[in-house]
């Protein structure tokens, strides 16, 4: 979190959890647990299932909550005969500002490759949404010591054809697959190694000025107890939080991480 120009971002990926009633409760509790000052210092975002988005929008608009929200995926197409899919303009109309793209669970269970992830990043940007682009290696790649080139290749594929200006509107999330939902967190040094390499690759491809503006998150078993050490790393600008974001108080504590960093 080295740069004063990059505002820390804590994003809660609810995955396929919580119905719309539970969503309303969680958002209200989360907002009540954080002060305006805390919410202005640390950007706080929830990423519910599609079926909760309208409810979250109503809660946020109705009570003017300083909480952002977005979706977990989008179609690469703007509309049409794509049964079961959701398009960028629909999400933008619901007030979404973010959309996750290329999560490892989508890559694994829906066979998403770099080309489709690239098309989705472009679709998000076209419709005014900020893509949270996920990259990360599985255990086998990590054990072979190939995690850095693996993640940089995924980054290259996903950002192919984008202008530097477009890249400033992308958030990158490094999520090692072996640390997702397993309780195994990468060490702060592991997180920095890949987040730093991602930034270096952004410098090489899009220039220093662009790379300095891109926020890079770490994701994988982030909790209130480990977030401060991860956020102390120079190239980690936030966290993409799964399980711990389903508990309002735990996620609020994660968002209050600056209190736990020694000054």
Separation in Å, CA 56 to CA 4, 39, 143, 249: 30, 17, 41, 18
> Do 131 and 90 meet the contact criterion of CB atoms below 8 Å apart?
no
Identity of the residue, 167 or 217, whose beta carbon is nearer to ligand 13P in the bound complex:
217
Closest Cα to residue 238, out of 1, 41, 37? 1
Minimum distance between the CB of residue 226 and ligand 13P, rounded to whole angstroms?
A: 11
120 annotated ligand binder: no
H helix runs in the chain, sequence order = 20-32, 36-41, 53-62, 88-93, 104-109, 114-126, 139-143, 147-159, 164-167, 188-206, 208-213, 227-231, 248-255
Q: Is 243 annotated as a binding residue?
A: yes
Q: Is 161 annotated as a binding residue?
A: no
Interacting residues of 115 by C-beta distance below 8 A, sequence separation 6+: 157
Q: At its nearest, how many Å lie between ligand 13P and the CB of residue 20?
A: 21
CB 240 within 8 A of CB 255: no
Sign of the Cα pseudo-torsion (154, 158, 159, 160, in order): positive
Residues at the contact surface with ligand 13P, assessed by CB under 6 A:
13, 103, 175, 180-181, 219-222, 240-244
Between residues 13 and 253, which has the closer beta carbon with respect to ligand 13P?
Answer: 13
Q: Which of 105, 137, 175, 250 is catalytic?
A: 175
* Residue 175 falls in the annotated catalytic set: yes
Per the annotation, the verdict on 103 as an active-site residue is yes
- Whole-angstrom Cα Rg for the chain: 17
Q: Confirm whether residue 93 is marked as ligand binding.
A: no
C-beta closer to ligand 13P: residue 210 or 223:
223
Task: Identify which of residues 75 and 221 has a Cβ nearer to ligand 13P in the complex.
Answer: 221
Q: Least CB distance from residue 237 to ligand 13P, whole Å?
A: 15
> Is 145 known to sit in a ligand binding site?
no
Least distance CB 239 / ligand 13P (angstroms): 8
Tokens coding 108: 């694994």
Bridge partners, 213 (sequence order): none
Q: Is 11 helix (H, G, I), strand (E, B) or coil?
A: strand
Query: Does residue 118 have a known ligand-binding role?
Result: no
Cβ nearer to ligand 13P, comparing 238 with 242: 242
Of the candidates 196, 261, 197, which has an alpha carbon nearest to the alpha carbon of residue 224? 261
Q: How far is the CB of 207 from ligand 13P (least distance, A)?
A: 28
Which residue is at the shortest CB distance from ligand 13P? 242
Residue pointed to by tokens 């050490």: 229
Residues annotated as catalytic are 103, 175
Residue list, annotated binding site: 13-15, 181, 221, 242-243
Residue list, annotated binding site for substrate: 13-15, 181, 221, 242-243
């Amino acid at each position: 979190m080295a740069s004063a120009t990059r505002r820390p971002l804590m994003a809660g990926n609810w995955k396929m959890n919580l119905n719309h009633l539970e969503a309303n409760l969680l958002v209200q509790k989360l907002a009540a647990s954080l002060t305006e000052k805390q919410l202005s210092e640390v950007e706080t975002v929830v990423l519910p299932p599609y079926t909760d988005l309208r409810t979250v929008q109503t809660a946020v608009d109705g009570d003017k909550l300083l909480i952002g929200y977005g979706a977990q995926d989008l179609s690469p197409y703007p509309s049409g005969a794509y049964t079961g899919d959701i398009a960028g303009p629909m999400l933008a109309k619901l007030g979404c500002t973010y959309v996750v793209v290329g999560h490892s669970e989508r890559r694994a269970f829906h066979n998403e490759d770099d080309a489709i992830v690239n098309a989705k990043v472009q679709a998000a940007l076209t419709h005014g949404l900020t893509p949270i682009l996920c990259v990360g290696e599985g255990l086998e790649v990590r054990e072979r010591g190939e995690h850095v080139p693996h993640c940089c290749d995924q980054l290259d594929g996903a950002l192919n054809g984008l202008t530097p200006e477009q890249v400033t509107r992308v958030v990158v999330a490094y999520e090692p697959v072996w640390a997702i939902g397993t309780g195994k967190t990468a060490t702060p040094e592991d997180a920095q190694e890949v987040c730093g390499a991602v930034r270096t690759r952004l410098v090489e491809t899009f220039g220093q000025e662009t790379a300095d503006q891109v926020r890079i998150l770490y994701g994988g078993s982030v909790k209130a107890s480990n977030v401060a050490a991860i956020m102390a790393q120079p190239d980690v600008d936030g966290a993409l939080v799964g399980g711990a974001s389903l508990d309002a108080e735990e996620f609020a504590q994660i968002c209050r991480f600056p209190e736990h960093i020694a000054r």
